[in-house]
Structure 1
Amino acid sequence: MKRFNIKPILFFGVAIIFASCTKEVEKPEAKDSPKANALEVSEGAAGTVVSITGSDLGGMKSIMFEKDSVFAPFNPVFNNDKAVVFRVPDDASGGNQNIVLTNSLNKQVVVSYTVLALPTITAVSNYNFVANTEITITGNNLNDVTSVGLTGTTETATIVSKTKKSMVVTMPATEVNTATLTITNSTGPTVTNQVFVNLDKAYKIFTEGYNNGFENASWGPASVSTEFAKTGTTSFKAGYNKGQWSADGFANWGGIASMPEYKFMSFWVKGASLPYTLYVVGDQREGGYGNSDTSVPIQIPANVWTYFKIPMETLQLWKKGGPFKQVGFFIKGPDAQDEAFYFDDVIFIK
């Protein structure tokens, strides 16, 4: 069965009524004693249509949600002596509060309303963590968060600081491989789309240095660097000389047997001076390790850290059937000048 959202229909129906009235009568003036009826629906999220009815409501000049003094924009066409119609503003703070309506005579009328404002998450400073890792969460409606838990567990992060738009937490010790976060504020809980990775449970190629028998196997100038790091203090600096079409990366010459329990390869990359495309290569991939396999491109913006999480089904690191020994990143060029990229937390994830 198809479902229709009747809110826009009601809103535009009210708009037609108001528009019709404005053609027949002059805009009502403000009065000394505006009065409002109790709201039939006294709660809603951002974007919800609010219709306040009463008497002597004409001539309104402002509508303010009292918590954090957030003003709601409104069209005077939707305001007459008996009603005023507007929407809950996008940045309204959650919780019970007054809506304060002020007319052009500075006379006010107040109605009670509860704004439903679940936490929303738009970005995080890192997806990888160990116990006590500090992560900054960016979004909205975070100032009244009361708990941040690893979804499906009893383990909770410690809230270090919070504002409406951002929050800093320290992650707990845990035995889980990966987890989303359940973030709860006064409106209720929300589960993040972002999935966080326990580095202690990942298979590490490079974190604070080389791991699990891997070493530098680059064609260009590459090394462990302390110039930049996403996690900790070091990264893998992959240098590419102008016009060389080279591959930089890692090798374990003893070979790594197939590990079907791992579902993703992930890493952070700090871009070079310009946007570039690199290609993931491996000796047991169908295209081999070198400067001809372009089947797994990664687009890297300039000068910022970017997170990549690639399914193992896409990478096919054991495609040829034997243990893989090399994995790295090939570039066409660079054409303009020598360039350097910084890789951190190169891992496999279950």
Structure 2
Amino acid sequence: MKRYISKILILQLIAAVWLSSCKKDDELNPSVGQVTPEKGASNTLLTLTGSDIEDVQTIVFEKGNVKAEFNPNFNTDNALLFRVPVAAVPGEQNIILTNKKGKEFRVPFNVLGFATITDVSNYNFSDGSEITLTGRNLDDVSKVVFSGTTTEVAILSKTPTTLVLKFPATELTQTTLDITNAAGAAKTSQSFVAVDNAYKIFTDGYNNGYQDASWGSSGMISTTIFKTGTASVYKDFAAGNWHQFGFGWNELANNNYKYLSFWIKGASADYDLYISTPASKGGFASFESNTKITVPANVWTYFKLPVNTLGLWATADKWNQIGWRIQGPDGKDERFYLDDVILIK
């Protein structure tokens, strides 16, 4: 009889503990107080405070349904640590938290996005040049500087997707930009070239002793169609003939130039052009695969090509001509424009 009573007492005790545990779980009422800080960029460490939040299983940023990774072992009843996901979509939104019972609760948060530049109106600048940058998260930009310096680039206007800048004079040859907004500083992938510190072949006219040296027909100055400044130079390629668009005759030594850059406006269709000098591996006016560029039709396109890839000084340390040659054109005459033809150190 005693053993029977003892078993009953043990079962009653187990049931009481189980009921107490169930009652405790049922009485849990997860709630959040605040997230600190209230806004931040990707990878910012956040602290969420509240009550009964130790069993949170998932954290999702509402825009784009982006999941935040975290370690549940670091959860406490009143605090939770996690970071803003790298893929979080910028903007005001809710952070949605769900516990193991499926209960969902939310807290407002503002994801800050770093300034991102996807396109620019020009890569070349002089003192006073105005250039428009296109991208994202630009309306709260507070400062732009040449990377690694304190030299500021003036902000003329800004919208969420555009930033208009006025460039100052500089002794740099080329530079990226550090753009600061509420998220912090971000470096552009685009590099900008100080034209006044480059070796100019043609800008608004012929420079450094150069002149037209085209084949088939002469290059002509245009003051109505140009990419920058006040003028460009153009050449007509006659159908069925092999022409070359070129400049000469000043002898130019390879003085540690790294890039040849230029703007070129295409013809009525996409064409391949070949760039060469008398010191090119295949000789002047040759057709070599490493010197070929494809020029899109009817638009200005920027090219910045490594001198070593082009082989402009492949067989000699000096040359006096440079040309852009086309195979054809077939069927009709075509016209190309060049502007800001420079060499960059």
- Shared fold (TM-score greater than 0.5)? yes
- 5+ residue gaps in structure 1? 1-33, 56-64, 66-70, 76-86, 102-108
Query: Taking structure 1 as reference, are residues 118 and 292 closer, same or farther at Cα in structure 2, changes over 3 Å only?
Result: closer
Q: Which of 72, 90, 111 is 2:63 aligned to?
A: 72
Deviating more after overlay: 293-302 vs 202-211: 293-302
Q: How does 1:1-350 map to 2 (within 5 A)?
A: 38-39=34-35, 45=41, 72=63, 92-93=90-91, 99=94, 111-221=107-217, 222-252=219-249, 254-256=250-252, 258-321=253-316, 323-350=318-345
Query: Taking structure 1 as reference, are residues 35 and 314 closer, same or farther at Cα in structure 2, changes over 3 Å only?
Result: same
Q: How many residues align?
A: 281
- 5+ residue gaps in structure 2? 1-29, 52-60, 67-84, 97-104
Matched residues, percent identical? 45
In the alignment, the residues of structure 1 paired with residue 165 and residue 176 of structure 2 have an alpha-carbon distance, to the nearest angstrom, of 14
Higher Cα radius of gyration: 2
In the alignment, the residues of structure 2 paired with residue 47 and residue 220 of structure 1 have an alpha-carbon distance, to the nearest angstrom, of 60
Instruction: Decide whether the 8 Å contact of 1:241 with 1:339 is kept in 2.
Output: yes
In the alignment, the residues of structure 2 paired with residue 195 and residue 204 of structure 1 have an alpha-carbon distance, to the nearest angstrom, of 18
1:37-62 Cα offsets, whole Å, 9 max, x none, are 544886565799x9x9999xxxxxxx
Instruction: Decide whether the 8 Å contact of 1:268 with 1:306 is kept in 2.
Output: yes
RMSD of aligned Cα (Å): 3.2
In the alignment, the residues of structure 2 paired with residue 47 and residue 243 of structure 1 have an alpha-carbon distance, to the nearest angstrom, of 60
1:106-159 Cα offsets, whole Å, 9 max, x none, are xxx973313131101111111100111000001100000000101122211111
The SS at the match of 1:138 is: strand
In the alignment, the residues of structure 1 paired with residue 175 and residue 301 of structure 2 have an alpha-carbon distance, to the nearest angstrom, of 20
The SS at the match of 1:314 is: helix
Instruction: Decide whether the 8 Å contact of 1:239 with 1:338 is kept in 2.
Output: yes
Instruction: Decide whether the 8 Å contact of 1:291 with 1:331 is kept in 2.
Output: no
Q: CA deviation at 1:280?
A: 0.4
TM (normalized to structure 1)? 0.71
Query: Taking structure 1 as reference, are residues 158 and 313 closer, same or farther at Cα in structure 2, changes over 3 Å only?
Result: same
In the alignment, the residues of structure 2 paired with residue 72 and residue 317 of structure 1 have an alpha-carbon distance, to the nearest angstrom, of 51
Q: Which amino acid is 2:319 matched to?
A: F
Q: CA deviation at 1:230?
A: 1.1
Instruction: Decide whether the 8 Å contact of 2:63 with 2:89 is kept in 1.
Output: no
In the alignment, the residues of structure 1 paired with residue 214 and residue 319 of structure 2 have an alpha-carbon distance, to the nearest angstrom, of 16
Instruction: Decide whether the 8 Å contact of 2:63 with 2:93 is kept in 1.
Output: no
Instruction: Decide whether the 8 Å contact of 1:72 with 1:88 is kept in 2.
Output: no
In the alignment, the residues of structure 1 paired with residue 65 and residue 280 of structure 2 have an alpha-carbon distance, to the nearest angstrom, of 59
Q: Which amino acid is 2:90 matched to?
A: A
